[in-house]
Amino acid sequence: MEFAIEIDNLNVRFPARGSTVQALDGLSLRVGLGEAVGFIGPNGAGKTTAIHVLLGFIEPSSGHAKIFGQDSRQSVARERIGYLPEHPDTYRFLTGRELLRMAGKLFLMKEKNLRERIDAVLRLVDIEQAADRRIGTYSKGMLQRICLAQALINNPDLVILDEPTGGLDPLGRMDIRKLIARLRDEGKTVFFSSHELSEVELVCDRVAMLARGRLVAEGPVTDLVAPGESLERFFLRTVAGPQSEQRATPTSREMGNRKQKGHRP
Amino acid sequence: MTHSARFPNLTGRLAPWLILAALGTCSFVLSCRLSFALVAPGAHAQADITVADQMLGAARVAFGTHFLEAADIYYHAGGTGRLNDSDWPDTWFRTLSRQIVPREYRHIETDSIAEMAPMLWVAMRADPHNIETYLIAAYWFATSAGLNQPELAHEVLREGRRRNPLNYRIRLEQALLFLREGRLADARQALDSALALWPSQEDPDSDQARQGKIYALTYRALLHESDNQVAEAIALWKQLAALQPDQTDIEKRLALLKSGAPPPVQASSVWQRMLRRSDLIRAECNHDHHHDHHHHNP
Amino acid sequence: MTKVLCITRIVWLDMLRRKDVYVLLILLGALLTALVSLNIFGLGGLVVYVKDVGLLATWGFGWILAVHIACRCLPQEEQRGTIYALLAKPVTRLQLVVGKWLGAWSVTCAATLAFYALLTAMVVFQGGTAALDGAVLIQGVLLHGAVLAILCALGLLFSTRMHQDAAATLTYVLSFAAFIILPRMPGLMARASGWHGTLVSIVYHLLPHFEIFDMRKRMVHDWGAVNGATFLTVLLYGAVYTALLLAIAWLAFRKKRFSRENLA
Ligand SMILES: Nc1ncnc2c1ncn2[C@@H]1O[C@H](COP(=O)(O)OP(=O)(O)OP(=O)(O)O)[C@@H](O)[C@H]1O
Ligand SMILES: [Mg+2]
């Protein structure tokens, strides 16, 4: 079987003052084609680091990562990826449309194709009305959307999103959720990290949970959590031990989420 | 972005540059001051001059010298030849550089002499107390065939005199110019005041001051001769003889004058020959160094 | 190549939408106008000083622009975090380095050409067409372009491992020192011996020799064109030196880990 993402025994160490920080500690993970996988874990667990290895930004200290069977260090491995960085920002002196054109050119897209694709992507992230304005004038939400748009310009088969809902209002978060669901329905593979566990529950087929650079849990949400338990409670139980469980009480939103979850296949 | 938003942004970006420029200027002025103090200790050390004045003054002197040298480089069509590098190892880069950057001398044509004018002009404004600048400018304006603007030479010297009213060398140069033009009355007046002002700020025993005095005395003596003021002429020739004990020509001329016989060469043709010779000598000097030419022995 | 040009285009758009170049152009225009309108002893038609000061300003402005733009390219991407989105595209780091260099170089060259055009117009206005030798002008401009190529590559190289201000300062200092001190260094070599001499000699041959690109005196004082072989040799030296610097820049950048926070 072919995998969209294959991570094997990945170790990443960062030099820190006097010692080293083990950001990833023997991480192994596979993401199949067409899956939507949520990548969760506490702050500093190594999620962003793992994604950076996948995109070839970081050379791992040992182990390797493959994308569609190709070594992630090669630039061809990125032909079929769309990536939204953790702190999305882009060239503020460009207009939205110029940015998308540039992104498309980097994929060597043909002019006619590109023009159509730009319009389609602008519609997809709902930012058509501001497409010809300088990005410097955009709000944070709009910036997030235009960055998402440039990540999708090449109609990628694998979409990697690093905290796509960070800093968005509930409406914006819902839009992102819908978008992820839509991408998944189109048969794309979606791999995204998030701290919004209720959302992860809603849109993911599977979750992979990271703590201190190690994979601590992996599988469909329904398999992981005990009946009647929320993902958030599971998260706290797994990461911080049972004593922290007492501190967390289920919110009404979580209850609602769980009800919805039942409708999903 | 609105205009009001952009403006502070711009000043914010410019501020480091402005500070850098200010610091650069300060350090330049300071280094000028220091190097000048080394070269000419006490030159600007009058009691009533403040430190700021001193520093600015030193910088102006440095600027003035720089532009005077620039004029010299223009005169040599960019060839400086200053680097004393004949014993340096010949590298590939030096060979290339010699072909790219002309190092040899080439004097600019007479009709291009005017191209030096801007550098002299700036040098004059940068350091109005550098007498050499006026002398060189006046010399070129008066003698260069292509330019031939004696009126400009007069103007330059008048400006120099206005800025340095007590300097004898400017008056002497004016006298030469008047002599050249046959304006004998003006020449007489100028020579008299040159002799009265001598030695200005120069050390009276220095070569330059001595030569200046000899020049002024000689021309004045010749003028007295041509005015038939024999007694005055004899007095000056005696002074000259004292200044140059080894010059037998002066003794001969003195003897002739005392005897009342007419000199073999008329005074006016003597000074004309002297003027021509000094032109030649100064042109030679200018080939080497503009700024330290001397008046040569008549 | 399309990818490289795409990255080059970003540098261009960035520059066009900033005011730096226009400010320098206006500054040069003002300087030249002031020079031409000086009434120097009432003598008209003087051109040598206009050419001299104008070329000095052109070299100075070109120098500032080249270092300023080249040193900003990469660190800015890193600080804003835009580099992640860029490198997530199928772009190699070599393409990124070359694209950025090409952008910085072409922008400075375009600006410098504009400076030259302005200067030429002023000189012709002041002294007629005879005041300028076309062949020398073309040679001089081309060699100036080669200097800018080296400067951009040098700035880019430093900026792969440094904050942009540090890289710019280092490039300014190093290039200025190379320009001023290197031509005089053989004098030092003549006197130095032993390991000291070897060191001086290594430094002498390693640093870029900007002085062999400097045709200003030929342009100012009408010395005529350089012979073709010399000219081509110098151009070749510039090209090889630039390529070397870019190769080192790529080596330094190839395995670099970015961190937004350290620089921001
Ligand atoms: N460039 C770096 N140099 C040193 N240490 C680093 C570097 N980048 C990350 N780290 C360390 O690696 C660990 C993992 O960081 P990473 O950013 O991958 O966490 P994360 O799971 O994305 O966290 P968050 O949820 O807060 O985004 C952290 O301890 C972090 O301090
Ligand atoms: Mg992260």
Test A93 with C17 for CB contact under 8 angstroms.
Answer: yes
Q: Does C3 touch chain A (CB under 8 A)?
A: yes
Q: Is C234's Cβ below 8 Å from some Cβ in B?
A: yes
* Residue A143 sits in the same domain as residue A189: no
Q: What is the pLDDT of residue B95?
A: 85
Closest by Cα among A78, A60, A102, A74 to A4: A78
Compute the distance between CA of residue C154 and CA of residue C67 in angstroms, rounded to an integer: 8
User: Which CATH number fits the domain that encloses residue A215?
Assistant: 3.40.50.300
pLDDT computed for residue C243 by the predictor: 96
Q: Does A104 share its domain with A178? A: no
CB of A128 less than 8 A from some CB of C: no
How close is the nearest chain C Cα to the Cα of A79, in Å? 5
Closest residue by CA, ligand 1 atom 11: A23
Cβ–ligand 1 contact at A85 (below 6 Å): no
In chain B, how many domains are there? 1
Res. A87: pLDDT tops 90 = no
Ligand 1 touching residue A194 (CB < 6 A): no
Residues of chain C predicted below pLDDT 50 = 262-264
Q: How far is C66 from chain B (nearest CA, A)?
A: 16
CA distance C56 to C214: 11
Considering the domain architecture, whether residues A129 and A177 belong to the same structural domain is answered as: no
Q: Find the residue in B nearest to C186 (Cα).
A: B88
Asked whether residue B37 is assigned to any structural domain, the reply reads: no
Asked if C183 reaches chain B (Cβ–Cβ under 8 Å), the answer is yes
* Same domain membership, residue A53 and residue A73: yes
Q: How confident is the model at residue B233 (pLDDT cuts 50, 70, 90)?
A: confident
Q: Residue A236: what pLDDT? A: 85
pLDDT at B54 over 70: no
| Interface test mutation site (partner C, options A24, A105, A135, max chain C beta carbons within 10 A) | A105
Within-domain flag for B215: yes
Q: How far is CA C156 from CA A78, A236, C86, C153, in A?
A: 25, 47, 18, 5
* Residue for token pair 């190097």: B35
Handedness of CA A103, A109, A114, A117 (dihedral sign): negative
Q: Which of B211, B190, B175, B222 is nearest to B295 (CA)?
A: B211
Please give the number of the atom of ligand 1 that sits closest to the Cα of A213: 14
Q: Above pLDDT 90, what percent of chain A?
A: 29
C216, C124 contact by CB (below 8 A): no
Beta pairing partners, A64: A8
Instruction: State the total domains in chain C.
Output: 1
Q: Do A44 and A97 have their domain in common?
A: no
Cα(A77) to ligand 2 centroid in Å equals 22
Structure tokens at A212: 């201190």
Residue-number span of the structural domain to which B289 is assigned: 166-298
Lowest model confidence (mean pLDDT) among A246-260, B61-75, C142-156: A246-260
- Residue whose CA is at the smallest distance from ligand 1 atom 3: A14
Residue A60 Cβ < 6 Å to ligand 1: no
* Residue A182 and residue A71 share a domain: yes
Is B152's CB within 8 Å of C41's CB? yes
Nearest ligand to the CA atom of A208 = 1
Instruction: For residue range B6-24, list pLDDT tens digits in order.
Output: 444 555 566 677 777 788 7
Query: Does the CB of C19 have a partner CB in chain A at under 8 Å?
Result: no
* Residues of C with Cβ-Cβ distance to A83 under 8 angstroms: 84-85, 88
| Residue A61 sits in the same domain as residue A167 | yes
Distance A47 CA to ligand 1 centre (A): 8
pLDDT given for residue C238 in this prediction: 95
Instruction: Please indicate if any CB of chain B lies within 8 Å of the CB of C212.
Output: yes
C189 contact A CB<8A: no
Which of A155, A185, A205 is the endpoint of a domain? A155
Q: Which two tokens stand for residue C42?
A: 């009432």
Query: What phi and psi, each to the nearest 5 degrees, are found at residue A81?
Result: -105, 145
Distance between C186 CA and the closest CA of chain B, angstroms = 6
Is residue A151 located within the same domain as residue A120? yes
Q: Round to whole Å and give the CA distance between C17 and C64.
A: 18
**Residues in chain C within 8 Å Cβ distance of A98:** 13
| pLDDT above 50: residue B110 | yes
B108 falls within a domain: no
Q: Specify the long-range contacts of residues A230-235, CB closer than 8 Å, at least 24 apart.
A: A230/A197, A230/A198, A230/A201, A230/A254, A230/A257, A230/A258, A231/A197, A231/A198, A231/A200, A231/A201, A231/A207, A232/A197, A232/A198, A235/A40, A235/A197, A235/A209
Eight-class DSSP state of A93: T
Domain with A229, as residue range(s), is 225-265
Q: pLDDT at residue A94 above 50?
A: yes
Give pLDDT, residue C261: 55
> What integer pLDDT is reported at residue B291 of this predicted model?
37
Q: Which domain holds residue C224?
A: 2-262
Candidate ranges A240-244, B269-273, C3-7, C183-187; pick with highest mean pLDDT? C3-7
Q: What's residue C209's pLDDT? A: 92
For residue C247, the distance in angstroms to the closest alpha carbon of chain B comes to 23
| C49 at interface of B, judged by CB pairs closer than 8 A | yes
pLDDT exceeds cutoff 60 at B219: yes
pLDDT, mean of residues A1-20: 85
Whole-number Å distance between alpha carbons of B143 and B160: 18
Residue of chain B minimizing CA distance to C43 = B114
A90 three-class SS: coil
Q: How far is B96 from chain C (nearest CA, A)?
A: 6
B179-183, B246-250, B286-290, range with the lowest pLDDT:
B286-290
Q: What pLDDT is recorded for position C43? A: 78
Q: Is the CB of A57 under 6 A from ligand 1?
A: no
Compute the average pLDDT of residues A143-168.
90
Residue whose Cα lies nearest atom 5 of ligand 1: it is A14
* Cis status, amide bond into B128, omega within 30 of 0: no
pLDDT of B88 above 60: yes
- Cβ-contact B210, B244 below 8 angstroms: no
Residue C143: CB partners within 8 Å, gap ≥ 6? B100, C213, C214, C215, C231, C234, C235, C238
Nearest chain B CA: its distance from C92 CA (Å): 33
**To 5 degrees, how large is the angle CA B285–CA B290–CA B296?**
40
CA dist B75 and B70 (Å) reads: 9
Same domain, yes or no: A63 and A113: no
Ligand 1 center–CA A21 separation, angstroms:
9
Whether A2 and A31 map to the same domain: the answer is: yes
CATH code (residue B175): 1.25.40
* A40 CA → ligand 2 middle, Å: 10
Q: Which residue did the predictor score with more confidence, A87 or B85?
A: A87
pLDDT tens per residue, range C70-121 = 999 899 888 888 899 999 999 999 999 999 999 999 999 999 999 999 999 9
> What number does the ligand 1 atom closest to the CA of C262 have?
1
Q: pLDDT confidence of B180, banded at 50, 70, 90?
A: confident
The tens digit of pLDDT for each residue in B140-162 reads 888 775 666 788 889 999 999 99
Give percent above pLDDT 70 in chain A: 90
Is B153 a domain residue? no
Q: Which atom of ligand 1 is nearest to the CA of A12?
A: 12
Is the pLDDT assigned to residue B2 strictly greater than 50? no
Find the A139 Cα to ligand 1 centroid distance in Å: 27
Q: In the predicted model, is pLDDT for residue A18 greater than 90?
A: no
CA–CA separation, B120 and B116 (whole Å): 7
Measured from the CB, is residue A41 less than 6 Å from ligand 1? Answer: yes
In a domain, B206, yes or no: yes
- Is residue A16 over pLDDT 50? yes
- Measure Cα distances from C142 to C170, C214, C216, C219 in Å: 25, 10, 12, 13
Interval A113-119 mean pLDDT? 92
* Chain A contact for C87 (CB, 8 A cutoff): yes
Q: How far apart are CA C193 and CA C198, in angstroms?
A: 7
Chain C CB contacts of B114 under 8 Å are 43, 46
Query: Within an 8 Å CB–CB cutoff, is residue C88 touching chain A?
Result: yes
| A262 pLDDT tier (thresholds 50, 70, 90) | very low
The CA-based dihedral angle spanning residues A170, A171, A175, A180, taken in that order and rounded to the nearest 10 degrees: 10
Q: What is the mean pLDDT of chain A?
A: 84
